[in-house]
């Protein structure tokens, strides 16, 4: 079984709908059939094509959290996201690595590549209020006047960050030090290689209650991108996660 390169123009999405964010499915390996065949490996049996019995087996595996057969289906994504989303994502990968040793992460380095466009920052168009009952969450939008003030302040800080960064480079400061003045909303990019098991774990957490909506938008996009490849597995998973 080898990786299949995905070339359809429908294999990428703009999760933050700002014309800058992007997640692209660039390759995949495996299918629903591989899940059931891996599950039956202990009996030394396999199916040549997906049957109704196989579909029921996938639903059973999802319902009872028998997840190891889902590690044999692998996806490779190219992601462009704000740095603070990237760091939250990376912490998830580290925390999950004991479940899946095939996670791969290769990220753009601002030591090697300079940003050359002040437009390379994520600026939210709707600002949320701090949740009263959850210290790490937000809830409800600011009123229109306060929201516009927040946008103006946020955008001004992004511009100032970029101007300071560019000025340091012009002075001859190396990229590895100049990058220190960039704010966390600057866009970065990386390639993520990950199993279906780990992807479903990621979606479940990042679309769950209390998750930050920006990373939740990427989780939703991932779910949409992989569903055509493993439709039965995603349908089974969604049936156990009705809130999604």
Question: Active-site residues: which are they?
Answer: 206
Instruction: Convert 155-167 to b/e letters by CB count within 10 Å (16 or more is b).
Output: eeebeebbeebbe
Phi and psi based region of residue 238 (left: phi greater than 0; alpha: psi -120 to 50; beta: remaining): alpha
In sequence order, the β-bridge partners of residue 165 are none
**Angstrom distance (rounded) from CA 209 to CA 11:** 27
**Angstrom distance (rounded) from CA 26 to CA 186:** 23
Cα diameter, the chain: 67
* Pairing of the two strands 4-5 and 12-13: unpaired
Quick check: 50 and 32 in contact, CB under 8 A? yes
């Amino acid at each position: 079984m080898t990786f299949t390169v995905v070339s359809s123009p429908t294999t990428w999405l703009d999760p933050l709908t700002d014309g800058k964010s992007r997640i692209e499915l660039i390759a995949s390996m495996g299918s629903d059939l591989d899940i059931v065949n891996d599950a039956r490996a202990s009996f030394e049996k396999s199916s040549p094509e997906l049957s109704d019995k196989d579909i029921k087996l996938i639903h059973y595996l999802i319902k009872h959290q028998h997840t190891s057969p889902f590690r044999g289906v692998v996806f490779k994504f190219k992601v462009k996201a704000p740095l603070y989303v990237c760091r939250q994502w990376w912490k998830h990968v580290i925390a999950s690595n004991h479940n899946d040793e095939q996670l791969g992460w290769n990220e753009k380095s601002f030591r090697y590549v300079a940003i050359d466009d002040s437009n390379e920052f994520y600026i939210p168009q709707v600002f949320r209020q701090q949740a009263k009952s959850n210290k790490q969450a937000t809830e409800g939008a600011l009123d229109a006047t306060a929201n516009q003030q927040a946008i103006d302040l946020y955008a001004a800080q992004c511009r100032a960050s970029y101007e300071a960064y560019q000025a340091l480079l012009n002075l001859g400061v190396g990229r590895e030090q100049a990058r220190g003045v960039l704010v966390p909303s600057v866009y970065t990019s990386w390639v993520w290689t990950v199993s279906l098991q780990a992807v479903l774990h990621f979606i479940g957490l990042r679309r769950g209650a209390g998750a930050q909506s920006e990373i939740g938008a990427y989780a939703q996009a991932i779910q949409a991108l992989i569903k055509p490849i493993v439709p039965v597995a995603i349908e089974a998973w969604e049936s156990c996660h009705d809130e999604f």
